[in-house]
Chain A
Amino acid sequence: MLTGYRKWSIIFLLPSGLFLIFAYVYPMVYSFIMSFFSYSMLIPGAKPVFTGISNYLSIFNNLAFLNSLRITFIFSIVAIFFQFIIGLFLALVMSANLRITGVFRVFMFIPLMIAPVVVGILWRNLYHASYGVINFFISFLGIPPQIWLGSATKALPAVIVVEIWQQLPVFAFILAAGIASIPTELNKAALVDGCGRMRIFWHITLPLLKPAIIVAFLLRIIDTLRMFDIVYTMTQGGPGTATKFLSLHIYEKGLRFFDIGTAAAQSWFFLIIVLLIEIYFIRLILRRGTAR
């Protein structure tokens, strides 16, 4: 028999539990099952046909998928690298207790508050080859007008810049919070011992900041790998397939071509890759926790 406390716990948890089952668990299980079927919903009267793991095996021969996977990883790695470097610098500035820190923090938040679709449209215009502001500014440096989004080589870097601009505050604020949590006694003791600022940074701040860095990486990896809205509004994956991220590829397979089995298998394959990366980072966090 359930005790009163346990019984009421279950009753109160039931609505949210049921919601989770219907909204998350059921679709995930269904998509996993569908990944073993061949099913094109575009064909009238078509029924799912069990094909085993062939949808998964076909991924390795699918050049379009592999190309999208490559583009997605390039985007994620480059964007996160620059977000980390610049974010760390900004976090140090914010932690310096300068007079402008408060105003600086507010301005830092602005990109985060803009909807991704708006960001995409905004930057599409900023990058415009004829009337874009970016070409106007680089002309002062003597650089001729560039084709940004219409160029197979510059479109991806252009999208990476937007991602860095918008999500930089996430890195900066997480790292600033991490810096704030470092006991000031350590820095003071190091100063008394005659350590310079750089030495304190390399040997005290950075090592103690590791948990915050790992958390920031974890969050940003998830976000960058599933990038969709900004790139969709900026380039629609073009020119050619220069910015066709995996999320766009899978969206096209699933919700334009309605090739449900293939799209499900590709989603699960991608999810497993992301999970492996996440598990690696979570283990890093846990290892640090145990070491303490």
Chain B
Amino acid sequence: MKRIISCILAVIFVVSMVFLGIGCKEEAAPAEEAVEEEAAPAEEEAEEPVVEEKKYEGVELKIMVHAGSSGERPIYEFAEEFYDKTGAKISIETVAWENIMPKLMASIEAGEGGYDISYTNPEFTYTLWPNLLPLNPYIEKYNYDTSDWFEAAVKYGEGIGDDPDIRYTIPASMVVAPVFYNTEKIPEYPTTWEGYEEVLAENTNPPEEYGLAVAGVPVQTVRQFYARFWSLGDPLLTPDWKPLINNENGVKALEMLKKTIDNFTPPGVLGWDNPDAGAAFASGLCATYEGWTGNVLTFLENPAENKIGDNWAVAMYPEGGTGNMTDNSFAIFKTTKNPDAAFEFVAEFTNKENSKRWAVEYALETPISSIYDDPEVQAAQPWFKGYKEALDVAKPAFWRVPQWIELFIPTGEMVSKYLSGEITDPQVALDQLAATWEEAIEKAIPDFEYME
């Protein structure tokens, strides 16, 4: 028996060696060919042009990109172009908004092994700026042009951190939530809240049609509330950081929003997230949509989802109202081994030529103001006209405050509590919110005045 087993094993061994040999031979073949290929050009060396080594050959840049942001697809496209042009290999990691801060913090702990560049909202830099590369020297070195930026892009990108003149970010897109409206149902967009409510009422005939589509999960209600509050003229806080949100305008704004949600939106919107709202507008169910552009453009660009064709436009909120503005910016980490390559990537991606290209191809909302007036861009993205008007009045919430998220998320929660009836008195809801804000601000009272 032992002998039989030994024979079988020996046969298996021999057969495997034969196959292994064949495998080795197959693998060896290209190597020989490679030698031949190498030899061939050597004969023609005199005629062939000398191949120049690319500027950043061997360099690798790791970029964290805010998943789902309008810059995501252009960054992927540009990464390949940048590699072809400079030899710098770009590895991209897309991260959901919820995970951005933990990822960035972990990356900072990792030091040199972490990200070289991040592409996300600048609010995160209010905390992370000590780990970021000041970009002013690179802006000068590369003659990077910022002269045509929106005022907000210039103003809110500087002064983060200790030094008011230092800039840590280069914006690629300006983000504000405007109002999308169905031009067939609303031929003339109203300029007052009264008029706005009138058109919403005219277009609300349940269950066939409703006036407004909004995302109603807690965090998404913030901008709808701010749009109404800011249009009434008050800032969120006093210059010495005392909440104004619970004043009579706050109560009025909250009641306005509740009236709108209760009367003019489809049932269940408080459980809706952004895609639900975008789909409801694109399907023609709702005459208007208040929310981020990307969440509705996805549906409007899809013929299967878009039932309203080209009959839509974008406008700012009535009476100068605006949701909170942010942007999607590039920041470069101090730990990067290749700051020049990183800056060149950012600078080229965001230069005027490419910004126009991204605007036309991907509807990237560039911070370069004049691009919005470009006929080619306007032809490709007619909604940019209204979006530019919305950007002109846009302002950020809690600019430069590192604990901004502790002010922002409770706002949505408290607004949602009132809208859902969990709290019935708007004054009580806003007093609770003001107390939460005070507690968060107390953690580190900023040494500068609050401004919007």
A166 to B421, CA, bound (A): 30
Q: Which of A36-44, A193-201, A219-227 contacts B (4 or more CB under 8 A)?
A: A36-44
Sample 24 A-B pairs with CB under 8 A, ordered by A number: A40-B403, A41-B105, A42-B402, A44-B130, A129-B267, A129-B268, A130-B266, A130-B285, A147-B270, A147-B271, A148-B268, A149-B270, A151-B268, A152-B421, A152-B422, A239-B217, A239-B416, A240-B416, A240-B422, A256-B405, A257-B403, A257-B405, A258-B101, A258-B105
A43 to B419, CA, bound (A): 32
Residues of A within 8 A of B216 (CB): 150, 238-239
CB-CB nearest in chain A for B270 = A150
Interface residue B417 (Cβ < 8 Å from any Cβ of A): yes
Cβ of B285 to closest chain A Cβ, rounded Å = 8
Residues of B within 8 A of A238 (CB): 216-218, 270-271, 413, 416, 420
CB-CB nearest in chain B for A257 = B406
Residues of B within 8 A of A255 (CB): 101-102
Total CB contacts across the A-B interface at under 8 A: 121
Interface residue A72 (Cβ < 8 Å from any Cβ of B): no
Interface contacts beyond A235-B271, A239-B417: sample of 6 additional A-B pairs, CB < 8 Å, sorted by A: A130-B280, A147-B268, A150-B267, A152-B421, A240-B416, A256-B101
A235 to B273, CA, bound (A): 9
A127 to B98, CA, bound (A): 24
User: Across the interface, do B402 and A44 meet the contact criterion of CB distance under 8 Å?
Assistant: yes
Encode A124-146 as 1/0 by CB contact (under 8 A) with B: 10011110000000000000010
Size of interface on B: residues with Cβ below 8 Å to A? 42
Residues of A within 8 A of B207 (CB): 130
User: Across the interface, do B443 and A43 meet the contact criterion of CB distance under 8 Å?
Assistant: yes
Residues of A in contact with B (beta carbons under 8 Å apart): 40-46, 124, 127-130, 145, 147-152, 155, 235-242, 244, 252, 255-259
User: Across the interface, do B403 and A155 meet the contact criterion of CB distance under 8 Å?
Assistant: no
Interface residue B444 (Cβ < 8 Å from any Cβ of A): yes
Residues of A within 8 A of B105 (CB): 41, 258
Choose from A43, A145, A242 the contact partner of B402 (Cβ within 8 Å): A43
User: Across the interface, do A239 and B444 meet the contact criterion of CB distance under 8 Å?
Assistant: no
A41 to B420, CA, bound (A): 33
A30 to B40, CA, bound (A): 63
Cβ of B437 to closest chain A Cβ, rounded Å = 13
CB-CB nearest in chain A for B210 = A130
User: Across the interface, do B409 and A45 meet the contact criterion of CB distance under 8 Å?
Assistant: no
Choose from B128, B217, B285 the contact partner of A235 (Cβ within 8 Å): B217
